[in-house]
Chains A and B, each alone.
Chain A
Amino acid sequence: MNALKLISLAWRNLWRQRRRTLLTLVSIAFGGFLAVIMTAMQDRSFADFIDSAARLGAGHVTIQHQEYLDTPTLTRTVKQTDAKRSAAEGDEGVVRAVDRVSGQAMVATASDSFGALFIAYDPTQEDADTFEFADDLTAGSLFQTPDEKGIVLGSILARNLGAELGDKVVFTMTDRTGNIVTDMERLSGIVTTGAPSLDGALCLLPLGTVRRVVGYEPTESTQVAVFIGDGRDALRTARTLRQQLGEGVAVLTWDQIQPEIRAFIAMKVGGGRAMELIIGVLVAAGIFNTLFMSVMERTREFGIMMAIGYSPRQLFALVMAESGLLALLGLVGAALITAWPYYYLYTHGIDMSAAYSESGTVEVGGVGFDTILRIGIYPENALIIALAVVLATVLAGIYPAWKAGRVSPVESINLV
């Protein structure tokens, strides 16, 4: 029996129990839909989360002093950052590399003082792709040049300090030799990220100002933040840069610098995989039931087919073909029912802020999640789901197919 005849027979067999086949297809399609949407939610939210952490921290890949990770002081710097940025930007996956100086500072006004996390950046090197706070400004303005006057504070920190735009803010930090240095700027902007811990501690400064205050050279900073198009390429990019830059500096990925975020994502992904596995098993059980019932109902028919010359292998192939067709139809069904919800959630998303805390945000490791739930699946994950659906369906068909091939003609023909 050639393949075309086999598929033709399998196709017709599928539609002998139209309602049951349709119900099975619905379960496959719905399983596929759930798997795609769940995976797309994870892929998008974690990709956004990683990007956000990278913008907030020091990129997807960070070039820094070898001891800075353990002792993040302003005495641990990298020099000739222009050459290092050029080296990084030579990698095909790298979007941009920028200088950052970050560390601890004390900020004070006439009425109060608080500890702060400062980030000094060069606004001519950065934009919304690399700088987390570009869209978070709620008062004043951000810096346009690396040497301009001013200081930008998180909204809670500004409120705690009792500072308003134009007020004097004194900041104190250690210089490159470890001595205490102080400078004063006027409050030029206020940002609200939605992450309370960040809004209560954030202090943004122009890179040139900080370099001058702490005594850095013009191409010296604590970190070179490297941004890449796909956060999942961080490890490869880091390896490449390590080879290029040698042993003098540390080249770290975002998850090495922020292991708590890696752990959080790993935990969530693990949970998601477990859910997908459960869905897969349920779908496979449904398919198995359909195929097994179908085979059991046709025991007599298989006996007849065996009697007239079909081989056990051909009967096995016939049921496997039915299983394969179910899988393909199920995939088409999954694509059809997933297309519109996917498109909507990809483009518009759902505003989940009301479901979160009073602040309307959710925060992990100082990084805020976007409260608009959007989705976006990595193509390889979509492919994995499609293959998993086909695999689950085909696996579910193996036993019924084997059973069909083992039918005893005499016993089954005697069944009436």
Chain B
Amino acid sequence: MTSPTVEFVNVTKVYRKGAMETHALRGLNLQVNQGEFVAIWGPSGSGKTTALNLVGALDTPTSGVVRLEGRPLGDLSRRELSRLRRDRIGFVFQAYNLIPVFTAYENAEAVVALQGVPARERRERVMQILKDVGLEGMEHRRPNEMSGGQQQRVAIARAIASNPAVILADEPTANVDSETAERLLTIMQQLNEERGVTFVFSTHDPRVMKYARRLVGMVDGAVASDEVKASGV
């Protein structure tokens, strides 16, 4: 039996600021399997982003276990976590977060270069992905020369280029108009279907929920609902 791609077991996360404690996650249990297209939705403060941060190895739980492809993240060193993020996780952020001095090509290539993929293979892979996300001919543009939607497509290309096990997308459509959002979601859906990449969204955007094939509802740091749809859009 293969391990789930993402697994939360009784995960809690408490943020402390002075004497004040904020319970972001209260015993989260969740599994996401390889190839799923999951949207975690819920109101602000429900723990969506915290859950993504934990599985993205950006933060550590207060208690419980987070596993990625069966590996408990709490057992990994800083260096191993860096490698894990580089090789197995792709991020798409709400604010794009591209490296401003890099071109679209260089942004998409950055992680692949970190992986040490040979130059020729790297180029072929990145050019193909940029083509797949509809940025052919825009390789040399810098982030400030592109629209928000184009920047987010570069971010998606960057996330997918390293062949990760899972792409974590935190409110990826929050800063773009409806048309662009639909376009981005279509691209991600295609990548999911064609490449089998697992996508986990944190969102409260109905458009994302429309495309997702599984909806995990969170309230107060725990799963309140878990619905598998017959199919997305």
Contacts and interface: CB of A to CB of B under 8 A. Distances in A.
Contacts of A304: 91, 93, 97, 99
Contacts, number: 64
A307 interface: yes
Interface string B95-121: 101011110000000110111000000
Interface stretch (B25-33, B79-87, B196-204): B79-87
Interface string B122-165: 00000000000000000000000000000000000011001000
A83 to B, nearest CB: 72
A306 B82 contact: yes
Interface residues of A, number: 23
A5 B101 contact: no
Interface in A311-362: 311-312, 314
Nearest to A15: B101
A309 interface: yes
Interface stretch (B3-11, B53-61, B62-70, B178-186): B53-61
A194 B26 CA distance: 92
A13 interface: yes
A311 B97 CA distance: 17
Contacts of A301: 97, 99-100
Given A409-B58, A410-B59, A413-B58, A312 B91 contact: no
A16 B100 CA distance: 9
Interface of B: 53, 56, 58-59, 78-79, 82-83, 85-87, 90-91, 93, 95, 97, 99-102, 110-111, 113-115, 158-159, 162
Contacts of B58: 306-307, 409-410, 413
Interface of A: 1-2, 5, 9, 12-13, 16, 300-301, 304-312, 314, 409-410, 413, 416
A1 B114 contact: yes
A410 B101 contact: no
Chain B CB count within 10 A is highest, among A300, A309, A314, A410, for A309
Nearest to B53: A410
Contacts of B97: 300-301, 304, 413
Given A5-B113, A12-B101, A13-B101, A312 B162 contact: no
23 contacts: A1-B113, A9-B99, A9-B102, A12-B102, A16-B100, A301-B100, A304-B97, A304-B99, A305-B99, A307-B85, A308-B90, A308-B111, A308-B158, A308-B159, A309-B82, A309-B86, A309-B87, A309-B111, A311-B86, A312-B78, A312-B82, A413-B93, A416-B95
Nearest to A414: B49
Given A410-B58, A413-B58, A416-B95, A308 B101 contact: no
A309 B162 contact: yes
7 closest A-B pairs (Cβ-Cβ)? A309-B86, A12-B101, A311-B82, A304-B97, A409-B58, A410-B59, A410-B58
Nearest to A14: B101
Nearest to A409: B58
Nearest to B78: A312
Contacts of B100: 16, 301
Nearest to B142: A12
B99 A309 contact: no
A308 B102 CA distance: 15
Contacts of B78: 312
